[in-house]
Chain A
């Protein structure tokens, strides 16, 4: 459980979660603030529209209608047949022309007041013509007044066109105001949509950042540790875990890594022969079984060889057990250097060893075995440190799909026995019994 990099203090997972929570909270606050701001802006817009734009539009509409009234009053003053009618409409025209409701626009006010001036002039011209005083006028005066009346009436008719255009302008102004209002509202709507879209995108980004952090700092180390544990359990090739950012995960990583060392050590202790360094009987049997299973499945050949040091008891007796041990060590060393790829040797007990040659037929196995035999003989003579020794070997191969390790070992052992009986320092291969009944068939 020791920290591999002491001094480097690592943050706890709690810190990671705190950080991510802070990111989320900041985002939510920002999003709320923006939404609130836009909402307030839109409320202000609605308020403006309610309090300013809408009344302005209505003012325009009323002015347009009042303008029509003014036109009618003017008509009655210009063409009306009675004094009372003219007076009444001229008075009304004066009051209307000066109503503050035309004051929203300088131009409107000017045009309307000019219209009234004309109406007043018409009234002043027409009143004497219609009053009782008309009879007292001289014919020239009468003629002049009639002429003036006609000129003014023509002017009024022309001026009405101007009033009509003004009315049109007022209506189009009102429409423009309405359009402006609509544009503003549409723009705000679009802004709201934009904010919503941005918020959603930002939310996705934040979720991605949170997910990425959790994946990188939490899920990945846990997954790797879990895979490492599987590797440890299956005893396949183990790659040490990378460093983790957070304390708890780093502890897991350290523990798993050191577990690998412990496992390896335990495995060594359980499978190795302490003296010679080759694998022990139990592990040899296990591996032999694995190789045999593969051989059966792939229908490939496999050889099994038993080896025994000749007269080993004598070495022990003459030179002591220490020398006996050394002899065995050297023997295993030389044998190991001669073993083909994929082959292995195990100590079965005392001075007895067994070897497996996967993929080897009888001939090849005997050849390798003989090489081992001659090499040991030569090396021990030349070594100078251990006494000259010889070894006997018994070879057997897989012949049937039903062959088992025990049977093969015992058959190789039988061949070894024959080698011993035949004078030692030789290789004998197992000869299966010949069935006569087979031949007769």
Chain B
């Protein structure tokens, strides 16, 4: 009898401690601080506006997700090649850097649900716009600029016969093309659209059609650190909520001439 009593008291005590612990845990989660890795590459995805503040579709999506999961978020500006290593090291927890999913990346970081879809395009001088990108890449007499660590860079390393110039950001590849330092650049098509629409670039154009290559197009995800598996679930739910409420559509409208989701 006494044994029973002791047992139930112990159970009760453990239960109370567990309840208290879980409440502390959930309280801690509510005030979670998330560092968002983002690079200052180019409009319309991520760029510094005239006030020096990070802006663009990526920045807005990341902030909207933060609001949904009621986390305190701050941006950490990083060059694109450092984004995935920073996620791995849990120096940043979230990255809004136009990440396409690859097997190799999936081993290092978690991916959120998609937040837009894209393709990759080759850009060059207007006179070359009727050429076929696959043939351009195979031509040993060409030079192509690409962002380090990107899927486009991975693709070119495997397929390009000509010279590859590796840059730290999409913005730098664009600059190289503007200055005619390279013949072509291979970048995400939605970046290219904004770039080509600028009046100063009317001598440039898409080279052929977007590349029909699985690794270069498709769903784009937020990167999430593997250190916090719970965060992936929260972010996915947040993105779904943004889609359902139409907020994501509004953000797409703000930066693009059509719905990019």
Judge if A10 is at the interface, Cβ distance under 8 Å: no
Asked if B257 and A92 sit within 8 Å, CB to CB, the answer is yes
Q: A39 on the interface (CB 8 Å rule)?
A: no
Contact B259 A94 (CB under 8 A): no
| A99:B257 contact, CB within 8 angstroms | no
- Which residues on the A side are within 8 Å of B210 (C-beta)? 94-95, 98
Indicate if the CB atoms of B259 and A65 lie closer than 8 Å: yes
Partner of B259, one of A66, A87, A91, A100: A66
Check A99–B209 contact: CB distance below 8 A: no
Per-residue CB contact flags for chain A residues 35-74 toward chain B (1 = under 8 Å, else 0) read 0000000000000000000000010001001100110010
Q: Shortest CB–CB separation between residue A69 and chain B, in angstroms?
A: 4
Specify which chain A residues have a CB less than 8 angstroms from the CB of B261 in the assembled complex.
Answer: 62, 101
Chain A residues near B121 (CB, 8 Å)?
95
User: Are B257's CB and A96's CB within 8 A?
Assistant: yes
Q: Give the contacts of A74-131 with B (CB-CB under 8 A).
A: 84, 87-88, 91-92, 94-96, 98-101
A62 CB contacts on chain B under 8 angstroms: 259, 261
Residue of B nearest to A124 (CB): B130
Residues of A within 8 A of B202 (CB): 84, 87
Contacts of B118 in A (CB 8 A): 99-100
A91 touches B258 (CB 8 A): no
Q: Kindly identify which residue among A65, A73, A94, A101 contacts B209, using a CB–CB cutoff of 8 Å.
A: A94
Q: Chain A nearest CB: distance from B48 CB in Å?
A: 24
Assembly CA distance A95 to B260 (angstroms): 10
Smallest distance from the beta carbon of A132 to chain B beta carbons, Å? 13
Q: Measured between C-beta atoms, what is the minimum distance from B218 to chain A in Å?
A: 5
Known contacts A88-B197, A94-B206: does B218 contact A100 (CB below 8 Å)?
yes
Is A58's CB under 8 angstroms from B243's CB?
A: yes
State A50–B196 Cα separation when bound (angstroms): 39
Of B209, B217, B243, the contact of A100 (CB 8 Å cutoff): B217
Q: B192 contacts which chain A residues (CB < 8 A)? A: 95
Contact of A101 among B117, B189, B190, B199 (CB under 8 A): B117
**B199–A91 contact, CB under 8 A?**
no
Cβ 8 A contact of A66, one of B196, B206, B209, B258: B258
Report the Cα distance A91→B204, complex, angstroms. 11
Assess whether A92 is in contact with B258, with CB atoms less than 8 Å apart.
yes
Question: How far is A58 from B206 in the complex, measured between Cα atoms in Å?
Answer: 30
Does B199 lie within 8 Å of A84, measured CB to CB?
yes
A91:B193 contact, CB within 8 angstroms: yes
In this complex, how many residues of chain B approach chain A with their Cβ under 8 Å: the count is 25
Task: Name the prevailing secondary structure of the A interface residues.
Answer: helix
Cβ–Cβ < 8 Å partners of A84 in chain B: 199, 202
Contact A73 B257 (CB under 8 A): yes
Q: Do the beta carbons of B193 and A101 come within 8 Å of each other?
A: no
Min CB–CB distance A342 → chain B (angstroms)? 78
What's the nearest-Cβ distance from chain A to residue B64, in Å?
18
Q: Is B163 interfacial (CB 8 A cutoff)?
A: no
**Residues B119 and A98 in contact, CB atoms below 8 Å apart:** yes
Are B260 and A99 within 8 A (Cβ)? yes
Smallest CB–CB gap between A9 and chain B, Å? 43
Enumerate chain B residues within 8 angstroms of A96, measured Cβ to Cβ.
257-258
Complex CA gap A378/B237 in Å reads 123
With contacts A66-B258, A96-B258, A101-B259 taken as known, whether A91 is within 8 angstroms of B196 at the C-beta atoms is: yes
Whether A91 touches B243, Cβ cut-off 8 Å, given contacts A98-B119, A99-B119, A100-B119, is: no
A58 contact set on B, CB distance < 8 A: 243
B88 neighbours in A (Cβ, 8 Å): none
In the complex, A96 Cα to B261 Cα: how many Å?
A: 11
Inside 8 A of A91's CB, which chain B residues have their CB? 193, 196-197, 205-206
| B residues 96-130 touching A (CB-CB < 8 Å) | 117-119, 121
In Å, the complex CA distance between A94 and B190 comes to 11
B219 within 8 A of A: yes
Complex interface: chain B residues within 8 A of A70 (CB): 258
Identity of the chain B residue whose Cβ is nearest the Cβ of A58 in the assembled complex: B243
User: What's the Cα separation between A70 and B259 when bound, in Å?
Assistant: 11
Interface centre among B197, B217, B243, B258, by most chain A C-beta atoms within 10 angstroms, is B258
Instruction: Give chain A nearest CB distance to B161 CB in angstroms.
Output: 25
Complex alpha-carbon distance, A256 and B117, angstroms:
91
Distance in angstroms between the alpha carbons of A50 and B17 in the assembled complex: 37
Write out, one digit per residue, whether chain B residues 205-227 have a CB within 8 A of any chain A CB (1) or not (0): 11001100000011100000000
The distance from the CB of A363 to the nearest CB of chain B, in whole angstroms, is 94
Q: How far is the CA of A88 from the CA of B257 in the complex (A)?
A: 10
A69: chain B residues at CB < 8 Å are: 257-259
Please report the C-alpha to C-alpha distance between residue A62 and residue B205 in the assembled complex, in whole angstroms.
27
Contact of B190 (CB < 8 Å), options: A65, A87, A88, A95: A95
Residues of A within 8 A of B259 (CB): 62, 65-66, 69, 101
Q: How far is the CB of B221 from chain A (nearest CB, A)?
A: 13
Minimum CB–CB distance from A72 to chain B (whole Å) comes to 9
9 A-B contacts (beta carbon < 8 Å) = A65-B259, A73-B257, A87-B197, A91-B196, A92-B257, A100-B217, A100-B218, A100-B219, A101-B117
| Interfacial residues, chain B to chain A (CB-CB below 8 A) | 117-119, 121, 189-190, 192-193, 196-197, 199, 202, 205-206, 209-210, 217-219, 243, 257-261
- 19 further interface pairs, Cβ-Cβ under 8 Å (given A92-B193, A100-B218, A101-B260): A62-B261, A66-B259, A69-B259, A84-B202, A91-B197, A92-B197, A92-B258, A94-B206, A95-B119, A95-B190, A96-B257, A98-B209, A98-B210, A98-B217, A100-B117, A100-B118, A100-B217, A101-B259, A101-B261
Can you list the 4 inter-chain pairs with the closest CB atoms, starting with the nearest? A98-B210, A100-B117, A69-B258, A92-B257
